[in-house]
């Protein structure tokens, strides 16, 4: 195989809430991920207040909320980014924590300290030769917008969001040339609280379990409002900074949903998973259409979803410039078997044809061919530049006596996935603009909220119980990935 294209973007991706910490510093207020660990374990994170008839933040002081300090990136990013540059990254993805700019989300004036922080962050990236790839919201809706307004099911969020995005487009014009709107926005229905930023606050059925009580109607209202917001954001970005490009961001692992066998029910069922997991959101954002099969979904779920003619026109005329996505794993589909979901995607019956068993307790299947399949399906359907902005493997690792980790499985994982990306580009003609490895430095896991699930080329000394001296150490994969970039993918 030959090299990757000359302009190929090599780098890594993180998210503000999993990396920065400093959760209440310089004016920032809590966002949805800051309480998630509590909510998932009913411990409780947020609790219903019978007097105000609202949810409010309620933390258990005995519990460690790792995201609050994360890996202290807020204070250490300059040193960390130097290590990323040392690997030869020419691009780097992170997010802006919305709550640093508009702490509650509904203010009319931005928080200057937050803007200054990202000014310096993006300057540092540019100086080090890494193009900033910036997600506007990576599971980071300010908590106040959920407890006060019910989150994205409320159309008021569009107004607050637009104030935020216009502020950052204007402020960072020229510094940021690639923007992504909402991280894994199509995970709205499987993770309504974090990915959708939705909370049902009208007469909750189960006040102790806000996640369970979020109604389908609220989730579909959020779908409507997010699509309108996405189109308005694309429009604003193009008008404020015509030099920059803006993309949507999908969790695309569910594209690689394989029928368990040739039973036509399984083939149709697999298509249904692709539609309900990815296409239902990517079609409006990339093609400007609201898919027709949604009508029967809405009927079945007894919800009303209405787009006005004006909104349909807005969505049609403001499609994204590129489609970015995460790919971690594939799944099978067999009728009658329950589908399980988490941050990585959908899981059904084990695929007996997959060769690699990852040494990790989270049970995410490893399927490098799935990334080639995903690239092809997305390119055939959308004909847009594709950007892999997340792919990686989380492992349970500890330092050896030499203060390093021999992470051979991670090297193997990357090598096999990149081979498939290369085939998709060279043999299939897919326009893939880059590969950003997820979590090039250990950060807090989005799905489990723990440190134990490590993705990094760089280790960070922090543990699930909150201990650790936070020192950084290079793993074996650091040199491997550096070599891949040096040879522009010729030597994998
Ligand atoms: C993606 C998210 O779903 O997967 C990231 O965009 C997340 O935020 C990544 O960290 C890996 O998931 P996890 O649960 O292993 O952290």
Domain boundaries, the chain: 9-486
pLDDT in tens, 17-56: 999 999 999 999 999 999 988 888 888 899 888 888 888 9
pLDDT of amino acid 208: 64
Around Cβ 293, how many Cβ atoms within 10 Å?
Answer: 13
Distance CA 164, CA 158 (A): 10
pLDDT of amino acid 211: 73
Distance CA 161, CA 235 (A): 14
pLDDT of amino acid 468: 98
Distance CA 83, CA 85 (A): 5
pLDDT of amino acid 206: 67
Q: Which residue puts its alpha carbon closest to atom 1 of ligand 1?
A: 343
pLDDT of amino acid 212: 67
**Among residues 466, 51, 43, 213, which one has the least CA distance to residue 35?**
43
CA distances (Å), origin 9, targets 72, 92, 93, 294: 26, 9, 11, 36
- Average pLDDT of each block of 10 consecutive residues along the chain (492 residues)? 93 98 98 90 86 90 94 98 98 98 98 98 98 98 96 97 98 98 96 91 68 86 98 98 98 97 98 97 98 97 97 98 98 92 84 89 93 98 98 97 97 98 98 98 94 98 98 98 98 97
List residues bridging with 47 in a β-sheet: 56
Phi, psi at residue 413, to the nearest 5°?
Answer: -60, -50
Q: Is 390 a catalytic residue?
A: yes
- E strand segments, 197-343: 245-251, 257-259, 322-326, 331-333, 340-342
Q: Is the peptide bond before 38 cis (omega within 30 degrees of 0)?
A: no
Of ligand 1's listed atoms, the one at least distance from the Cα of 439 is 10
CA of 444 relative to ligand 1 center, distance in Å: 9
Are the beta carbons of 218 and 198 closer than 8 angstroms?
A: yes
Distance CA 322, CA 242 (A): 14
Around Cβ 470, how many Cβ atoms within 10 Å?
Answer: 14
Q: Which residue puts its alpha carbon closest to atom 14 of ligand 1?
A: 447
CA of 39 relative to ligand 1 center, distance in Å: 18
Topology annotation, domain 9-486: TIM Barrel (3.20.20)
Distance CA 272, CA 393 (A): 27
pLDDT of amino acid 423: 98
Distance CA 427, CA 438 (A): 25
Helices (H), 257-320: 264-274, 280-282, 294-300, 309-317
**Among residues 179, 142, 172, which one has the least CA distance to residue 157?**
142
Distance CA 386, CA 388 (A): 7
CA of 287 relative to ligand 1 center, distance in Å: 26
pLDDT of amino acid 201: 80
pLDDT of amino acid 413: 97
The active-site residue out of 7, 390, 486, 491 is 390
pLDDT of amino acid 25: 98
How many residues appear in the chain? Answer: 492
Are the beta carbons of 190 and 260 closer than 8 angstroms?
A: no
Helices (H), 2-133: 16-19, 33-40, 73-86, 98-101, 112-127
Are the beta carbons of 330 and 394 closer than 8 angstroms?
A: no
**Taking CB atoms and a 6 Å cutoff, what residues make up the pocket around ligand 1?**
15, 18, 183-184, 251, 326, 343-344, 390, 394, 438, 445-448, 453
């Amino acid at each position: 195989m030959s090299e990757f294209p000359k302009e190929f973007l090599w780098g890594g991706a993180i998210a503000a809430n999993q990396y920065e910490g400093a959760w209440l510093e310089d004016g920032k207020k809590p966002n949805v991920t800051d309480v998630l660990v509590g909510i998932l374990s009913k411990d409780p994170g947020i609790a219903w207040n019978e007097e105000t008839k609202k949810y409010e933040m309620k933390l258990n002081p005995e519990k460690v909320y790792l995201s609050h300090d994360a890996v202290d990136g807020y204070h250490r990013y300059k040193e960390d980014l130097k290590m990323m540059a040392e690997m030869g990254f020419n691009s780097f993805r992170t997010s802006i924590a919305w709550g640093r700019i508009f702490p509650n989300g509904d203010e009319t004036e931005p928080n200057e300290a937050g803007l200054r922080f990202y000014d310096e962050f993006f300057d540092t990236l540019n100086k080090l030769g890494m193009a900033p790839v910036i997600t506007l919201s990576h599971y980071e809706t300010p908590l106040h917008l959920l407890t006060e307004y019910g989150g994205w099911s409320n159309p008021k969020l569009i107004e607050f969001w637009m104030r935020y995005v216009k502020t950052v487009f204007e402020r960072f014009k020229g510094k940021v040339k690639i923007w992504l709107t909402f991280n894994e926005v199509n995970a709205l229905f499987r993770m309504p609280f974090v990915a959708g930023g939705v909370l049902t606050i009208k007469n909750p059925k189960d006040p102790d379990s806000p996640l369970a009580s979020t109604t389908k109607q609220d989730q579909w209202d959020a779908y409507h409002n997010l699509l309108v917001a996405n189109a308005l954001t694309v429009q604003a970005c193009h008008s404020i900074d015509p030099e920059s490009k803006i993309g949507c961001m999908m969790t695309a692992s569910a594209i690689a949903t394989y029928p368990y066998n040739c039973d036509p029910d399984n083939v149709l069922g697999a298509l249904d998973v692709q539609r309900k997991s990815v296409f239902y959101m990517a079609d409006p954002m990339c093609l400007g259409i609201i898919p027709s099969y949604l009508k029967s979904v809405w009927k079945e779920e007894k919800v009303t979803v209405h787009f006005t003619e004006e909104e349909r026109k807005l969505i049609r005329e403001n499609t994204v410039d590129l489609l970015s996505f995460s790919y971690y794993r594939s799944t099978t589909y067999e009728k009658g078997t329950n589908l399980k979901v988490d941050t990585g995607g959908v899981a059904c019956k084990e695929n007996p044809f997959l060769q690699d068993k990852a040494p990790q307790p989270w049970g995410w299947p490893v399927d490098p061919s799935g990334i080639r399949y995903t690239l092809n399906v997305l390119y055939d359907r959308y004909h847009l530049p594709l950007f892999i902005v997340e792919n990686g493997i989380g492992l349970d690792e500890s330092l050896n006596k030499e203060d390093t980790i021999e992470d051979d499985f991670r090297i193997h994982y990357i090598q096999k996935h990149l081979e498939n990306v290369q085939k998709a580009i060279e043999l299939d003609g897919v326009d893939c603009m880059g590969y950003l490895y997820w979590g090039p430095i250990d950060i807090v896991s989005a799905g489990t909220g723990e440190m134990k699930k490590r993705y990094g080329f760089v280790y960070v000394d922090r543990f699930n119980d909150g201990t650790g001296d936070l020192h950084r150490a290079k793993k074996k994969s650091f040199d491997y990935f550096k070599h891949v970039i040096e040879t522009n993918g010729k030597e994998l």
